[in-house]
């Protein structure tokens, strides 16, 4: 697909079939990203049903993410081999079947395998949608396409926990997988109708860079597992984590060397020489930290500190999601009058401001206090993704759309993985640090401690219960302070992304595409 793309200046205005294909691909990307987060609020229920521990249950999420990050760089190559239509319909069908199998999993091992299959299909759908936008739409129409893609990248992670919590509370955890069936069928049907038939290119299998594929799969796969599971194993204190880190580093170094030394690489890393693509990709890493980090930290805070259930957590997070549906359609219109860099920087500022303000937590800071903050995030996120995607890919020819899409989406996913790993470590280490500091005040020589102990002893009846309660309160306060640090880290990363966006070059205003002629419309009929 990427290799036979039409030169940018010759991309015709999209017809009905093109838009149906685009909308179907975007629906697929939406469901794929939704499935990353929708399971988080239901993990306890799934673990209970499969008789798995918390540590074992984490692999239900990890297996999906590992499979997803491995398939993303391969999507462009596989699309070219099978043809866009065959590949898209195939992965859509696999996504539906894998979702059904997940709902029928009988033990932890089967669930991990089925989630990996679901991740393979879902991971391929994300870059495929992005590539279609770059190859099917002329520059004047791309903001509309990117606005629709923004729904997948920002709205889906925000609404995932809400949908997952509601379905689990009212119907059962199996329904978080059943929800994929109808959209999956619509997606496959739309892609089958909207994409032209083309002959597969099986000869490319003989020309495949299999050593590059092996090093990429080993490197990214090990890195994802290391980032997901490292904090549970105390990072380099575990020999397994050390092995994963070493394998990942060596594999990725070999992969980079291979890609830079070959004339037709699997992933064209030379695209990073383009200034806008480089800074846009770096900003995308920070966006990954912000998007996935927020959806990770906030539910943990509400569950641990405020004792919220899955549905209550979803009701808080949804305020970050639903307002975006009103804002996203306005962004392409705004881009006609305002520099994309200013819009994007403003979005990052609003997102960072909301994250920084979230770092003002105390015992009384709960769901109601988060609503205004979530709305700030909802304003900021759409203002980031649409213009940033345009800025990053403005100078990329459609012939390189596959590589650009792979790199761009990999970096956002890695940003999310790195961010969650860093945040999980911060929550653990900083909570211990603050507890040690606060514990110094729990001494008989402290008058406030003595008065508090006397009061609690009188209320609870004995000194041991009073001391235990006071110790729990100190632990809780230490955890709150750690959550504040986590939100501040997210804000700092988003601030760096804002700077990277401002370092990009302004893009020329695209000339609006002419309406399709009668002859061009006649050419939209399906190929035999």
Sequential DSSP letters for 335-365: HTTS-HHHHHHHHHHHHHHHHHHHT---TT-
**Average of per-residue pLDDT across 37-61:** 76
Distance CA 20, CA 16 (A): 6
Which of the 8 DSSP states describes residue 274? S
Percent pLDDT > 70 in the chain is: 88
- CA 383 to each of CA 85, 144, 154, 335, 510: distance values in angstroms, whole numbers, following the listed order: 32, 13, 10, 10, 19
Least confident of 249-253, 381-385, 456-460, 501-505: 456-460
Distance CA 175, CA 149 (A): 25
pLDDT at residue 321 in the model = 77
pLDDT of residue 44 exceeding 80, the answer is no
pLDDT of residue 289 exceeding 60, the answer is yes
pLDDT at residue 355 in the model = 92
Percent pLDDT > 90 in the chain is: 19
Give 186-231 pLDDT, tens digit per residue.
999 999 998 888 888 888 788 777 888 899 889 988 888 888 788 7
Report the sign of the C-alpha dihedral through residues 295, 67, 264, 126, in that order.
negative
Answer for the pair 88, 94: CB distance below 8 angstroms, yes or no: no
- Main-chain dihedrals φ then ψ at residue 390, nearest 5 degrees: -65, -45
pLDDT at residue 4 in the model = 42
Report the sign of the C-alpha dihedral through residues 184, 186, 188, 191, in that order.
negative
pLDDT at residue 249 in the model = 93
Confidence class for position 458, pLDDT limits 50, 70, 90: low
Confidence class for position 352, pLDDT limits 50, 70, 90: very high
Least confident of 3-17, 347-361, 458-472, 506-520: 506-520
Distance CA 17, CA 13 (A): 11
**Nearest of 295, 395, 390, 347 to residue 38 by alpha carbon:** 295
**Average of per-residue pLDDT across 249-275:** 88
pTM confidence score: 0.80
Residue partners of 224: CB distance under 8 A and separation at least 6: 62, 65, 66, 69, 417
pLDDT at residue 404 in the model = 84
Enter the tokens of residue 445: 């020589």
Confidence class for position 488, pLDDT limits 50, 70, 90: very high
**Average of per-residue pLDDT across 245-264:** 89
Confidence class for position 1, pLDDT limits 50, 70, 90: very low
Please list the alpha-helical segments (H only) found in 208-274.
210-229, 239-261
Least confident of 122-136, 323-337, 462-476: 462-476
**Average of per-residue pLDDT across 335-359:** 91
pLDDT of residue 514 exceeding 60, the answer is no
pLDDT at residue 379 in the model = 87
pLDDT at residue 396 in the model = 81
**Average of per-residue pLDDT across 164-186:** 87
The mean pLDDT of the chain is 82
pLDDT at residue 343 in the model = 92
pLDDT at residue 454 in the model = 66
Interaxial angle between packed helices 181-194 and 84-103, expressed in degrees from 0 to 180 and rounded to the nearest 10: 170
pLDDT of residue 98 exceeding 80, the answer is yes
Distance CA 124, CA 76 (A): 9
Give 14-43 pLDDT, tens digit per residue.
788 888 999 999 998 889 888 877 777 677
Least confident of 29-33, 137-141, 308-312, 338-342: 308-312
Burial of 146 (0-12, 13-18, 19+ CB in 10 A): buried
pLDDT at residue 451 in the model = 64
**Nearest of 477, 527, 467, 280 to residue 361 by alpha carbon:** 477
């Amino acid at each position: 697909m990427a290799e036979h793309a039409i030169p940018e200046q010759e991309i015709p205005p999209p017809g009905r079939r093109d838009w149906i294909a685009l909308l179907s691909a975007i629906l697929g990307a939406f469901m794929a990203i939704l499935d990353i987060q929708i399971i988080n609020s239901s993990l306890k229920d799934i673990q209970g049903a499969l008789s798995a521990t918390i540590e074992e249950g984490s692999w239900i999420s990890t297996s999906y993410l590992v499979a997803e990050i491995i398939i993303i760089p391969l999507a462009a190559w596989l699309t070219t081999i099978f043809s866009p239509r065959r590949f898209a319909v195939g992965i859509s069908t696999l996504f539906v079947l894998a979702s059904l199998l997940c709902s029928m999993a009988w033990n932890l091992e089967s669930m991990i395998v089925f989630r990996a299959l679901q991740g393979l299909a879902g991971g391929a759908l994300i870059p495929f949608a992005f590539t279609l936008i770059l190859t099917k739409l002329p520059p004047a129409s791309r903001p509309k396409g990117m606005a629709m893609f923004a729904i997948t990248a920002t709205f889906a992670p925000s609404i995932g926990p809400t949908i997952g919590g509601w379905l689990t509370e009212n119907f059962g955890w199996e329904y978080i997988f059943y929800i994929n069936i109808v959209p999956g069928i619509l997606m496959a049907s739309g892609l089958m109708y909207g994409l032209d038939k083309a002959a597969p290119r099986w000869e490319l299998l003989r020309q495949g860079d299999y050593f590059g594929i092996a090093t990429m799969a080993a490197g990214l796969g090990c890195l994802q597992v290391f980032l997901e599971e490292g904090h549970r194993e105390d990072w380099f204190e575990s020999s397994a984590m050390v092995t994963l880190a070493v394998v990942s580093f060596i594999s990725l170094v070999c992969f980079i060397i291979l890609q830079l030394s070959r004339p037709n690489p699997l992933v064209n890393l030379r695209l990073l020489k383009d200034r806008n693509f480089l800074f846009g990709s770096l900003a995308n890493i920070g966006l990954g930290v912000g998007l996935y980090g927020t959806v990770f930290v906030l539910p943990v805070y509400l569950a641990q500190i405020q004792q919220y259930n899955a549905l209550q957590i979803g009701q808080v997070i949804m305020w970050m999601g639903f307002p975006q549906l009103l804002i996203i359609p306005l962004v392409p219109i705004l881009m006609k009058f305002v520099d994309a860099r200013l819009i994007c920087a403003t979005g990052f500022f609003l997102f960072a401001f909301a994250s920084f303000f979230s770092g003002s937590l105390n015992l009384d800071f709960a769901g109601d206090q988060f609503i205004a903050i979530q709305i700030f995030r909802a304003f900021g996120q759409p203002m980031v993704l649409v213009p940033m995607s345009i800025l990053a890919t403005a100078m990329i020819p459609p012939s390189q759309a596959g590589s650009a899409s792979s790199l761009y989406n990999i970096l956002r996913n890695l940003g999310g993985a790195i961010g969650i790993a860093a945040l999980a470590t911060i929550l653990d280490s900083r909570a211990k640090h603050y507890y040690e500091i606060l514990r110094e005040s729990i001494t008989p020589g402290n008058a406030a401690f003595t008065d508090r102990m006397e009061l609690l002893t009188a209320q609870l009846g004995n000194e041991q219960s009073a001391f235990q309660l006071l110790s729990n309160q100190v632990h809780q306060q230490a955890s709150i302070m750690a959550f504040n640090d986590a939100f501040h880290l997210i804000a700092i990363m988003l601030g760096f992304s804002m700077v990277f966006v401002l370092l990009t070059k302004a893009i020329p205003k695209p000339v609006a595409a002419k309406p399709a002629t009668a002859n061009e419309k006649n050419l939209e009929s399906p190929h035999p």
